[in-house]
Amino acid sequence: MEKLLRRCRVRSLLVRECLAECLGVYVLILFGCGSVAQVTTSEEKNGQYLSINLGFALGVTFGVFVSRGVSGAHLNPAVTLSLCVLGRHPWVKLPLYAFFQVLGAFLAAATVGLQYYGESTCIPASLATWLNVWSSFYLQVIGTAALLLCILAIGDRRNTSIPDYLQPLLAGASVLVIGISMGSNSGYALNPARDLGPRFFTYIAGWGDEVFKAGGGWWWVPLVAPCIGALVGTLIYLLMVEVHHPPLSPEIQPSCQEATEGKTLELEGVEPDGGKPA
C-alpha cells in the first residue's frame, strides 16, 4: 500500500496546492450547502436559519484545516485575486486556483444533491423503501468520510498552531457540523459500536427482533457504511494532501530550542556535543 501511495505523489507544487484548494472548498460546500439542504427539505423541522449559519461557519473552519498546510487555504477565487493584487500570491496561479476551487464546489454540490435526492423529488411508492436504505447507506459513507477528513486534518503535523487541548474540541465540532448538514436521514451514527451496542440492548430489553426489521431492515447500514466511509475519507486525504507532503516523524523533528542552540554553538565555533570543530 505504501509503495502504491508513493507512486501517486505529485511532483508539481502548483498541482498539489490546487488539489488542496479543491478538497478544502469541497469540505466547505459539503457542510454549508448540506445544512441548507437539510433545513429546506425538512421545511425547518431539522434545523433553522442558525443551522445554516453554523454549517457554513464550521465548513470554513474545517475546509481551512484540510488545505492550509499545503495551499494556504484561500478557498475563494476572490481571496486569491486579492492576494495577487497585494503581491502576496503569483498571478500565474490565479486561473488554476480558481478552477480547482470551482471544481471542489461543483463536486460537493453533486454530493449534496445525491444525499437529498429522495427528499426533493417525487418517486414511486414502490421505490421508497429501497431509496431510504440507499440514502441512509450513502449518507453514512459520506458522513464518516467527512469525519475522517476532519480528524486527519486536525491531527496533521503541518497544522502546528493547533494546541493539543483543542483537538478534542475540534473533533467534537466536526461531529456537530456533520449532524447539522447531513443528520436528518439516519441519525449520522458514523460509528458501528455507537449503533450496534444500543441496538443489542434494546433487543434483549424487550423490543425483540423488531429492532433489526425496522426501516426496511437497514440495521446493517450503520455497521458497514461507516467502515467504508472511514476508508474513503482516509484515502482521499492521503491522495490529495498527505502523500505529497509526508509529515516528519516526531522522533526526527528537532525542537525550536534544540535548533537554536545548535546554530548558536556553530556560530561560536563550538560543536553541539561540547567539542571544537575539526
Single-letter residue type at 253 = Q
The packing angle between helices 167-182 and 13-41, to 10°, is 50
Cell numbers for 85, please give them. Answer: 493584487
Residue 160 confidence (pLDDT)? 65
Q: How many CB atoms lie within 10 A of CB 210?
A: 9
CATH number of 27's domain: 1.20.1080
> How many angstroms separate the Cα of 201 from the Cα of each of 14, 32, 189, 217, 272?
53, 36, 16, 17, 62
- 274 inside domain: no
Picking from 126, 16, 135, the residue whose alpha carbon sits closest to that of residue 71 is 16
- Whether residue 264 lies inside any domain: the answer is no
For the full predicted model, state whether its pTM sits above 0.85: no
Residues 6+ apart with CB under 8 A from 198: none
Residue 277, pLDDT > 70, answer no
Residue 84 in domain? yes
Model pLDDT, residue 3: 75
How is residue 33 written as a grid cell? 450547502
pLDDT tens by residue, 1-40:
667 777 777 788 899 899 999 999 999 999 999 899 889 8
Residue range 80-121, pLDDT digits in tens: 999 899 899 999 999 999 999 999 999 999 988 887 766 555
Instruction: Determine the structural domain holding residue 43 and report its residue range.
Output: 2-190+227-247
Q: Identify whether 266 is part of a domain.
A: no
For residue 123, give every residue at least 6 positions away whose Cβ sits within 8 Å of its Cβ, in sequence order, or none.
Answer: 131
pLDDT of residue 127: 56
Does 273 fall in a domain? no
Are 149 and 114 spatial neighbours (Cβ–Cβ below 8 Å)? no
pLDDT band at 126 (very low <50, low <70, confident <90, very high): low
User: Is 106 contained in some domain?
Assistant: yes
Residue 109 grid coordinates: 454540490
**Residue 74 forms part of a structural domain:** yes
Separation CA 96–CA 220 (nearest Å):
42
Q: Does residue 210 belong to any structural domain of this protein?
A: no
Cell (9 digits) for 73: 487555504
Domain count, the chain: 1
Report d(CA 173, CA 65) in Å as an integer: 13
Residue 270 confidence (pLDDT) above 50:
no
